[in-house]
Amino acid sequence: MLTRRLAVWGLTGGLAGGLAGGAAFLAGAQGARAHDAHAHGAHAHGAQDPAPASPAERFEVRYAAPAAPLVDHHGAAADLATELARGGPVLMNFIFTTCPGICPMLSAMLAATADALGPDLATVRLWSVSIDPDHDTPERLAAYAALYDAPPQWRFFTGAPGAVNAVRAAFDALDDVKMAHRALTLLRLRGDRWLRLEGDVTPDRLAQETRAALAGA
């Protein structure tokens, strides 16, 4: 079982071992998309800012969440537009539970970030939206959440394919091929302003960005 302690290990040195396959998959996927204009038009989102020590590309963007009915891993109904009416930072990514590549890395990163935030975690929400709603039922997401020792602030969402795709499209995360989806992490700063991090991001950097969002809220 991949507990949060093992997730921290993976992101502080274990990626070269236990998650090496995922890292190779990520590198190949990013390389294949490096010159693809459809690879999400990242530079159209806004000016790129200088980044701390972490290879992820950083963009500040504006997104409006659609009114899309979802359900979380506890079986509770949710609508992201309604959820976002409440202020405060939100960390969000897109995963699926049978992913053999970057999803374990993304989930381990959020688990380690939750640890790195310490007491600040109490005022932050973490969301993971499944891109495989046909397979990822709330029960499967609950089992996946347990693998990462997910804290109460971390919710895993699924729903009808149309609702999930509406969310993905709204956040420019609608990839053509499930197995080659991006390493993407989003941080809601305030209102409709989001920080978009594309690529490998460390828990320390993400915790730093989240604390800055808390300070500016």
Cβ atoms < 10 Å from Cβ of 214: 15
106: pLDDT strictly greater than 80: yes
Mean pLDDT within 107-119? 97
CATH of the domain at 196: 3.40.30.10
Residue 48 lies in a domain: no
- Rounded CA-CA distance 190/87 in Å is 7
pLDDT at 22 over 70: no
Q: For residues 181 and 191, what is the distance between their CA atoms, to the nearest angstrom?
A: 26
Ramachandran angles phi, psi of 104, nearest 5°: -60, -35
- What residue spans of the chain are helical by DSSP H? 4-12, 20-33, 80-84, 102-117, 138-147, 161-170, 203-216
In a domain, 38, yes or no: no
**148, 58, 72: which is closest to 105 by C-alpha?**
148
What is the domain extent for residue 66? Answer: 4-12+19-32+57-216
Specify if 116 maps to a domain. yes
pLDDT of 183 over the 80 cut:
yes
Tokens representing 87 are 């202020």
pLDDT tens profile 58-96 = 989 999 999 999 999 999 999 999 999 999 999 999 999
Q: The tokens of 74 are what?
A: 């506890």
Whether the CB-CB separation of 61 and 194 falls below 8 Å is answered with yes
Overall average pLDDT of the 33-42 stretch? 33
Residue 150 located in a structural domain: yes
Examine the pLDDT at 194 and tell me if it is beyond 70. Answer: yes
Is 158 contained in some domain? yes
- Coil, strand, or helix at residue 157? strand
pLDDT confidence of residue 116: 97
**Is the pLDDT reported for residue 1 higher than 70?**
no
pLDDT of residue 54: 61
Residue 51 lies in a domain: no
Residue 151 lies in a domain: yes
User: What per-residue confidence (pLDDT) applies to 55?
Assistant: 74
What pLDDT, on the 0 to 100 scale, is given for residue 100? 87
Burial class (CB in 10 A: 0-12, 13-18, 19+), 82: exposed
Model pLDDT, residue 217 = 64
How far apart (Å, rounded) are the C-alpha atoms in residues 8 and 176?
A: 31
Instruction: Tell me the per-residue pLDDT of 9-20, one tens digit each, with 9 for 90 and over.
Output: 354 443 333 344
State the pLDDT confidence band at 45, using cuts at 50, 70 and 90: very low
CA distances to 13, 45, 186 from 59, rounded to whole Å, are 27, 7, 10
HSE, CB side, 13 Å, CA atoms: give it for residue 5. 1
3-state SS class at 51: coil
In a domain, 201, yes or no: yes
Tally of domains in the chain: 1
Mean pLDDT, residues 30-37 taken together: 34
